[in-house]
Amino acid sequence: MKFKRIEHVAIAVRDLDTVRDTLARIGLTCEHEETLPGPGVRLAMLPIGESALELLEPQREDGRTAEWIRERGEGLFHICLEVDDIEASLAELKAKGVKLRDEVPRAGHGGHRIAFIDPASTAGIVIELVEMTGGH
């Protein structure tokens, strides 16, 4: 499996608007915002070269982002790595004995196909895989 790039670094925040506006003052501008009802988050993508910062604000108290903020506070949430073929990547990881949080890809930001590796297999680092499908 080959990773193409760090697609984004996700930051969990309590107030997306405030953080987005604060980062705009230093030159990091928002290119895309959306709400993902499944995971219960509102997000903003701030591109930096070939990667981006993703700001994640929980929209429900029972979601992973809200739980993360309650346990650890605001800050680094996960790293997203782009792959060409997410099914093949998941199959390869599974064959290597890597635990997966998502065995099957699901819709993520911008409609891209995503899946998370179980942090138990990555020294506690939350890693998302993404297969870009056009759009943001």
DSSP string for 3-72? --EEEEEEEE-S-HHHHHHHHHTTT----EEEEETTTTEEEEEEEETTEEEEEEEESSTTSHHHHHHHHH
Per-residue pLDDT, 1: 84
Q: Residue 136 falls within a domain, yes or no?
A: no
pLDDT tens across the length of the chain (136 residues): 899 999 999 999 999 999 999 999 999 999 999 999 989 999 999 999 999 999 999 999 999 999 999 999 999 999 999 999 999 999 999 999 999 999 999 999 989 999 999 999 999 999 999 999 865 5
Per-residue pLDDT, 135: 53
Alpha-carbon distance 124 to 127, whole Å? 9
**Could you tell me the CA-to-CA distances from 128 to 5, 29, 109 in Å, in that order?**
12, 23, 11
Strand-pairing partners, residue 127, are: 79, 117
Strand-pairing partners, residue 131, are: 113
Q: Residue 29 falls within a domain, yes or no?
A: yes
Q: Residue 9 falls within a domain, yes or no?
A: yes
| CATH code of the domain containing 115 | 3.10.180.10
Alpha-carbon distance 80 to 12, whole Å? 14
Q: Residue 41 falls within a domain, yes or no?
A: yes
Q: Residue 36 falls within a domain, yes or no?
A: yes
Distance of CA 100 to the CA centre of its chain: 15
Q: Residue 30 falls within a domain, yes or no?
A: yes
Q: What's the domain count of the chain?
A: 1
Q: Residue 108 falls within a domain, yes or no?
A: yes
Task: Measure CA of the first residue to CA of the last residue in the chain; give whole Å.
Answer: 24
Note down the domain range covering 119: 5-131
